[in-house]
């Protein structure tokens, strides 16, 4: 063989092999591996099978480091050099097993650090992409469901005002409760997104705690009327009923906790207990305890019950509990500057303990007075821009014979609306986020930039199923006077109108 190709090394860590262009061994000194003449180099290791197609076109050299030849009795890690010299093809194998084994932990450590760094960057990009997709999905889903839900609840509210027999009235109550539950689930999905982005609005309004708790009691008694579970509600006498806070968020929290209790309890009891702690003249802590005698939660699952989508699996039957509901409970409780804790014993039940800080509303007696005047109610004219016939019918029936004296007219698009605005005087214009010929922001700007002051200064109420905060902020920034999220009740609609055209 060409001994001049090999550097003189006493421990013979280099093997020289002469090959033909098909990878057949012509001669080998077998310094590292036993290679038989006439055999293929691919017999040594499958790695060489992928190199064979390159050999015939090799003009100079090809170097491949760190090849782990683990198919022989004495595995080695070698560097591989293919070399074309004097029209002959040589393969040089350099045995660096000890070197690679010694350096592998350090290299692996560097690789792990590099992978971790790249993984963090990739995960950040992935999370951002997921967040954008989720927000877009929620926005579209939110809008598409809230519009028909608004019609559904609106017509049920109108139906309630008609003459119904007992069975019809009870059926309608169940329908209304179911519709309201669907609205709450929509709010839960949207609120999780809002909380994660830090844009959840917490209100500070007057509310009656007793009414809120009683409504929940009545709802679950009716919903689970055929359930064998005994449901009891107790409010300490020292609990102030008139508080200042966010009743909608508190209702969401208690609703989800009670729903979770009923889903996990097939027989036994569920209790809701309310008491006041650290009470002063202006503030009070409200402790609410919801307990059940249901399946309970294993100790190793307790720290996961507030995770998104967590559900308790019992005996491979249907999952129990509402992960989404409990996730929103924790997030909303913290948004109200409160706390929630859970304790449980498997097979015996679960206890959720919530603590909320509220302001106490000073009690005052309102004197009923008869307004002075002629007794004639001045009509307030409202222009509603709406192109869908079902929505038009709901509006017509909602305002029919209303006690507020509101008179409405309908426009089917923005062009029709401006024709009516030029020829009539209105106290308010109301429309949704998207019309056939223009979107809400475009119509708001056309109104606000109108040459006639009576039109330019007209109060604008936007009623829309696009309830994401950025959507609301956009229309308000464009010049809308108020935003009414769908679905809304008749009272909520009239209250919004009353605030704009006093």
Say whether both 281 and 330 belong to one domain. Answer: yes
Return mean pLDDT, the chain: 81
Say whether both 340 and 388 belong to one domain. Answer: no
Residue 268: inside a domain: yes
For the chain, the residue count is 502
Instruction: Choose one of 95, 129, 161: the last residue of a domain.
Output: 95
Residue 10 has pLDDT above 50, yes or no: no
Say whether both 347 and 482 belong to one domain. Answer: no
Lowest mean pLDDT across 101-115, 239-253, 305-319, 321-335: 305-319
User: Residue 439 is part of a domain; what is its CATH number?
Assistant: 3.40.50.2300
pLDDT of residue 367: 46
**Number of domains the chain is built from:** 3
Residue 172 has pLDDT above 80, yes or no: yes
pLDDT of residue 139: 63
Which residues sit opposite 461 in a β-bridge? 430, 482
Instruction: Choose one of 60, 79, 95: the last residue of a domain.
Output: 95
What does 427-492 look like in DSSP terms, one character per residue? SEEEE-SB-SS-BHHHHHHHHHT-SSHHHHT--EEEEES--SHHHHHHHHHHT-SEEEESS--HHH
35 or 119, which is more confident?
35
What is the band of 310 on the pLDDT scale with cuts at 50, 70, 90?
A: very low
- Contact of 250 with 243, CB cutoff 8 Å: no
Exposed, middle or buried, 121 (CB in 10 Å: 0-12/13-18/19+)?
A: exposed
Task: Determine the average pLDDT of the residues in 278-301.
Answer: 89
pLDDT of residue 393: 87
105 or 382, which is more confident?
382
Say whether both 327 and 426 belong to one domain. Answer: no
What does 64-94 look like in DSSP terms, one character per residue? EEEEEE-SSSS-EEEEEEEEEETTEEEEEEE
Q: Are strands 349-360 and 283-292 parallel, antiparallel or unpaired?
A: antiparallel
Task: Determine the average pLDDT of the residues in 220-246.
Answer: 87
Q: What are phi and psi of 294, to 5 degrees?
A: -80, -150
User: Residue 56 is part of a domain; what is its CATH number?
Assistant: 3.30.450.20
Task: Determine the average pLDDT of the residues in 226-237.
Answer: 89
pLDDT of residue 72: 86
Q: Are strands 230-235 and 205-208 parallel, antiparallel or unpaired?
A: unpaired
Residue 240: inside a domain: yes
Task: Determine the average pLDDT of the residues in 172-178.
Answer: 80
Say whether both 351 and 455 belong to one domain. Answer: no
What is the band of 105 on the pLDDT scale with cuts at 50, 70, 90?
A: low
Distance CA 21, CA 23 (A): 5
Residue 400: inside a domain: yes
pTM here is 0.47
Q: State the CB neighbour count (10 A cutoff) for residue 45.
A: 18
Residue 104: inside a domain: no
Q: Under DSSP, is residue 370 helix (H, G, I), strand (E, B) or coil? A: coil
pLDDT of residue 124: 73
pLDDT of residue 189: 63
Share of the chain above pLDDT 70, in %: 81
Say whether both 397 and 331 belong to one domain. Answer: no
Per-residue pLDDT of 134-152, as tens digits, reads 666 766 666 677 778 888 8
Say whether both 266 and 396 belong to one domain. Answer: no
Residue 389 has pLDDT above 50, yes or no: yes
Residue 459: inside a domain: yes
Lowest mean pLDDT across 4-8, 276-280, 334-338: 4-8
For residue 252, the Cα-to-chain-centroid distance in whole angstroms is 16
pLDDT of residue 319: 39
Say whether both 403 and 337 belong to one domain. Answer: no
Say whether both 395 and 316 belong to one domain. Answer: no
Say whether both 394 and 276 belong to one domain. Answer: no
Residue 345 has pLDDT above 60, yes or no: yes
User: Which pair of tokens denotes residue 486?
Assistant: 């769908």
- Contact of 45 with 77, CB cutoff 8 Å: no
Residue 64: inside a domain: yes
The residue with tokens 């909303």 is 332
Count the helices and strands in the chain (H runs, E runs).
12, 17
Say whether both 340 and 397 belong to one domain. Answer: no
pLDDT of residue 241: 84
Lowest mean pLDDT across 138-152, 343-357, 358-372: 358-372
Residue 106: inside a domain: no
pLDDT of residue 306: 76
Say whether both 298 and 395 belong to one domain. Answer: no
Residue 135: inside a domain: no
pLDDT of residue 112: 60
Domain that holds residue 240: 206-360
């Amino acid at each position: 063989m060409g001994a001049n190709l090999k550097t003189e090394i006493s421990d013979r860590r280099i093997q020289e092999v002469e090959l033909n262009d098909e990878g057949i061994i012509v001669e080998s000194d077998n310094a590292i591996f036993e290679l038989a003449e006439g055999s293929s180099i691919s017999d040594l290791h499958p790695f060489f099978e992928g190199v064979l197609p390159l050999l015939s076109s090799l003009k100079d050299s090809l170097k491949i480091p760190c090849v782990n030849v683990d198919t022989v009795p004495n595995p080695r890690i070698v560097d591989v050099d293919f070399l074309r010299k004097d029209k002959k093809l040589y393969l040089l194998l350099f045995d660096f097993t000890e070197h690679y084994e010694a350096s592998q932990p350090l290299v692996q450590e560097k690789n792990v650090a590099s992978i971790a760094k790249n993984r963090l960057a990739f995960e950040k990009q992935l999370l951002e992409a997921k967040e954008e997709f989720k927000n877009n999905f929620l926005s579209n889903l939110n809008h598409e469901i809230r519009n028909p839900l608004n019609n559904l609840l609106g017509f049920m509210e109108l139906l309630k005002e008609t003459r119904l027999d007992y069975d019809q009235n009870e059926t309608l109550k169940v329908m209304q409760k179911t519709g309201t539950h669907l609205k709450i689930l929509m709010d839960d999905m949207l609120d999780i997104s809002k909380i994660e982005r830090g844009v959840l609005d917490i209100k500070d309004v007057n509310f009656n705690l007793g009414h809120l708790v009683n409504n929940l009691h009545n709802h679950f008694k009716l919903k689970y009327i055929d359930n064998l579970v005994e449901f009891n509600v107790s409010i300490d006498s020292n609990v102030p009923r008139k508080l200042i806070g966010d009743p909608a968020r508190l209702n969401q929290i208690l609703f989800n906790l009670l729903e979770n209790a009923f889903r996990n309890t097939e027989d036994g009891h569920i209790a809701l207990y309310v008491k006041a702690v650290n009470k002063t003249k202006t503030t009070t802590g409200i402790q609410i305890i919801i307990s059940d005698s249901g399946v309970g939660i294993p100790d190793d699952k307790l720290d996961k019950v507030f995770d998104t989508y967590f559900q308790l699996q019992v005996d491979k039957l249907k999952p129990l509990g509402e992960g989404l509901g409990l996730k929103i409970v924790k997030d909303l409780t913290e948004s109200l500057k409160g706390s929630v804790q859970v304790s449980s014993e498997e097979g015996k039940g679960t206890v959720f303990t919530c603590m909320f800080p509220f302001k106490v509303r000073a009690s005052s007696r309102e004197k009923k007075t008869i307004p002075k005047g002629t007794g004639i109610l001045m009509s307030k004219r409202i222009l509603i821009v709406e192109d869908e016939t079902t929505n038009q019918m709901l509006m017509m029936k909602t305002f029919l014979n209303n006690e507020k004296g509101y008179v409405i007219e309908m426009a089917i698009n923005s062009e029709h609306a401006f024709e009516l605005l030029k020829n009539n005087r209105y106290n308010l214009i109301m429309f949704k986020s998207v019309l056939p010929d223009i979107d809400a922001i475009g119509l708001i700007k056309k109104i606000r930039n109108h040459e006639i002051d009576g039109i330019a200064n007209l109060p604008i109420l936007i009623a829309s199923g696009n309830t994401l905060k950025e959507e609301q902020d956009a229309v308000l920034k464009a010049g809308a006077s108020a935003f009414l999220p769908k679905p809304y009740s008749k009272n909520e609609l009239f209250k919004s109108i009353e605030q704009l055209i006093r």
